[in-house]
Structure 1
Amino acid sequence: LDHFGLGGTSEIRLDLQAPDSAVLQINGKRLPDGFRGTYFDDIPILVRATPRLGYTFSHWETRSTVVSSEKLVSTGSVWKYSDTGADLGAAWQQTGYADTAWPSGPAQLGYGDGDEATVVGYGGDADRRHITTYFRKSFQLTDVTRFHSLSLFLLVDDGAVAYLNGQEIARFGMPSGSIYSATPASQGNENSFAEFQVSPDRLKSGVNTLAVEIHQSGRGSSDISFDCSLSGETSAVAQTKRVDTPEVEITPSGDVQLTAFLNAAATTVADPIVITEINFASAPEADSDDWIELYNRTTTAIDLTGWQFTDGAGHAYVFPAETVLWPNSYLVLCQDRIKFKAVHPDVKNRLGNFGFGLSGDGESLRVLDPKNKVIDQVDYKSVAPWPQTARGTGYTIELMDASSDNNLGKNWRALTPFGTPGTAHK
């Protein structure tokens, strides 16, 4: 993460104070009440609570844990290194080891890739390169009690073992057991970046030394790479904040819990879902099969799970689970989605197949909720005062105003060839 400029991750939790009172989303993706997920720190995310039918939004309550982090060793730091091929045993891992004669240079250190800030040696023989190269970095601390966790990031090619003040804290791409100068890496990693959590008990007041040995997978390996950072988290402060808009942008830098508060609506909109467009007799040259358009004319999200669309012949289509019609949005129900898509490829808000045709002479279409309550009913006809030019011509009939009575023929028109499914009528 550190190698790609990403500083860490935080847990995001979403809750509803009243169950089933809203639809929750992060960056447009619908998520369940009680959702927990991990997101990158310092990257904004957009959280939204859309009220369900019968509720109005009140506010968000956000509880965040703000964590302070301190860089003890940064990527690109200057390291001392030993590239002689000598076996240094275990003494080189200790803070007091005499490394004054070692050369030094900024990371990335290595050879063979062309992206090194410091090129280290390998012994001169390309067929018998050194297996192990040693790196050391010291830093000073006065108060180690303020750290409650440490994060180590290693950029490695091929394998590595890291030590803090003489104690092993990380091993990557290396076999288990004792490690010697001649021990090859167990796998050929190419510039792999790994994160490790380290106990802050390994720190001490005064001089601290981070020591890393990089191992080749074999003497003929053509390159090595090394960079490293060590960060300490120093505090975690809980903060509570109220946000009065249903959409809130947060930039995590610690765990965040968001709870949406909604109130029961004093009144509800009559006929919240209305049929606004009907295609009952397609033109032969653009046969999309029959379809209808629904419109949510409320400011709330409506869960259509278990709702039904029926015709006058007793056919019924049951809406699948988790179907949500968003506020002031359209949804198209298709007799055949494949045929519909062939004529209207850009319409994404579609469902089907409802599998039965609509009468060219007119019939009764109804939308029912899960309790079989009629939410909307249109008894359309193909004679005046209903539009008379939609049968087999490629025209649909459109409700001119979604707030008008859609059971009156005078409120409909046949104006647009092939219709305007899923969009507002102009």
Structure 2
Amino acid sequence: LNGQEIGRKLMPAGTVNWQTPGQRGEAKYGSIIQGDITGLLKSGRNVLAVEIHNERSGSSDIVFGADVSISTIPPDLTQLLTVSELHFDDEGTVDWVELHVPGQQEVSLSGFSLATLEDFSDAIDLDGSISAGGYKSFETDFKVEDNGNLDIYLISGQIVIDAHRFDRDLGEESFQSVPAFKDAPNFRKEWYGGTGHTRDAVNDPVRNTNIVINEIMYDAPSDGRTAEFIELFNRGSAVVDLSGWRFVDGIGFEFPAGTTLGPGDYIVVAA
């Protein structure tokens, strides 16, 4: 298939050339290969080639017939479509939500919905389609809880395709997602809240990458619990306001208002 061998029958193992004899077999149908060959297919024209070897040279007794049966594997919907961005209006209501197609095929939105409630009673049906690699936003009127919490569900029928909980406690204008790392699966993404938005375009959230975790003491030699700490370092050239920054996994700590870290400086969070 497309120049790569995918199976053989009544042929010896190893390298085969035009002089390699075949093995005697009955003239009846039999499966040559059964399996997933998705990775060998390509967009557009695919070529399936068959090479037939007789048992011996000089023989004219050869029979070949072929049937090709192709079945598709149901797609993993979580890899087709993902929530990419959401935006808040001046009243704090989610006025639009953006979806993204990370794959290489257009996705029809028929049967997809957006909701914020667990019973999907506020679901908004989607229509149209999104091109491969594209972004598309949809008008919404989703309310945020008084404590700033908001759940977003992307659903197909009653199946949750993507979901995320947001905590809007700093008056963020939008939340935008980016992959957690290169070639990360769709569910491994990081969300950034802040000012501005990139509606219907590639996400580019305002975020600071100059503050890094520089050192961790998680198991002090003395086994003293109060000796554990995490150290941050500002590798940039400007002062960074850490107000509201917090650790949310492993430890729980939020930097109080007015906390800043100058260029080249360190700050320690101790147990």
Larger Rg: 1
Superposed pair shares fold, TM > 0.5: no
* TM-score, normalisation: structure 2: 0.41
Greater share of residues in strand: 1
